[in-house]
Amino acid sequence: MNEKVYADILNQVNEGIFILDDTFQVRFWNDYMATLTGIAKEEALHRNIFEVLPSLKRNYFVTSLKRALEKDYKPFFSASMHRGLITTTAEVNVRVSPYKSDDLKLLMVECIDVTSQYLRVNQLKEYVKKLEDLNKELQEKEKEIARLAYYDNLTGVANRALFFNVAEKFLHHARREQGKVALMFIDMDNFKTINDTYGHKVGDRVLRETAQMLAKSIRANDTVARFGGDEFILLLPGLKEYAEYRSIVKRLVRALHEVVIDEVPVQISLSIGVSFFPRDAGTIDELITKADRAMYRAKSLGGNKCVSYQDLDEVLDLRENLYSGQTGL
């Protein structure tokens, strides 16, 4: 085949191809190369490639061409690493292949337009970013669903569902380790009066204040839950002695205070009933029932007191301890 046939074949290829001699003069410039660069064949032929494409005059590229002429070396320049090597309007990979005979040294330079691949990669990156954002949003919604499912919306403490879940685990552990657990049933004294006197907005804020007071008074492994209305439950696992619950009561006493809401002073007062596993009951439901009974005993005595189920006559007067500063409950 003659030279024209080879040229026709190379002009049919969907990539830019030019051929250089050992002085870097352009010996061939195919049609796709003209389209890619906007430089016509007539403008490129018989000129130094660095005059035709000044963007190629980079030390590493010149050095690579010289090395390819001297040795069996085929350098490759990726579009991602070498932007604007051929043109600034497209993403182009460049591959150099040497050809050597006894009296001739040539370099064939292929310029592969990968712009469409880059666009697809960038689109894929955008899709991945969107998926990551959606996944993050989904995780946030899952957290919100979990919060709504297991935490009281008004006060932020655990709700009944979470309480029973946690309580069963702690009771199971206590059975296995022969441990002790206290359950405190807490009712706010005169909460209806607060609601009727100051309105539900103030009442809600009093509930939130009370919940936070309880949460700050317990130990790290303890659980506070809103049981309903103005009722709260504290679960105190890992007791060594039943009397240890009194230290929690001390903290509650210290935390009891007059709340000022919208310049309205509101005194928080609690009636507390306490039951113990395994002394008083063997299940959570039984513990709640007996702590509730002890709490009503505290209420019948005027409120602001703590009563143990087994010792219904053992009454801790929270008001006396609050104002006298006593700590030996």
Residues 308, 241: Cα–Cα separation, whole Å: 14
261 pLDDT exceeds 50? yes
Q: Count CB neighbours of 323 within 10 A.
A: 9
Give pLDDT, residue 21: 94
Give 146-198 pLDDT, tens digit per residue. Answer: 777 889 999 999 999 999 999 999 999 999 999 999 999 999 998 998 888 88
Asked whether the beta carbons of 297 and 307 are under 8 A apart, the reply is: yes
Those residues whose C-beta lies under 8 Å from the C-beta of residue 246, and which sit 6 or more positions away, are: 316, 329
DSSP string, 239-292: ESSGGGHHHHHHHHHHH--EEEETTEEEE--EEEEEEEETTT-SSHHHHHHHHH
Half-sphere exposure of 139 (CA within 13 A, CB side): 6
Six-digit token string for 179: 């441990």
Nearest to 275 by CA among 252, 319, 306, 317: 306
Residues 171, 235: Cα–Cα separation, whole Å: 10
Half-sphere exposure of 38 (CA within 13 A, CB side): 5
Residues, the chain, total? 329
Share of the chain above pLDDT 70, in %: 93
Beta bridge partners of 98: 107
> DSSP E strands: which ranges in 38-169?
76-77, 92-100, 105-113
Give pLDDT, residue 34: 94
Give 59-114 pLDDT, tens digit per residue. Answer: 999 999 999 998 889 999 988 788 888 887 888 999 999 998 878 899 999 999 88
* Ramachandran sector of residue 13 (left: φ over 0; alpha: ψ -120 to 50; beta: rest): beta
pTM of this structure: 0.58
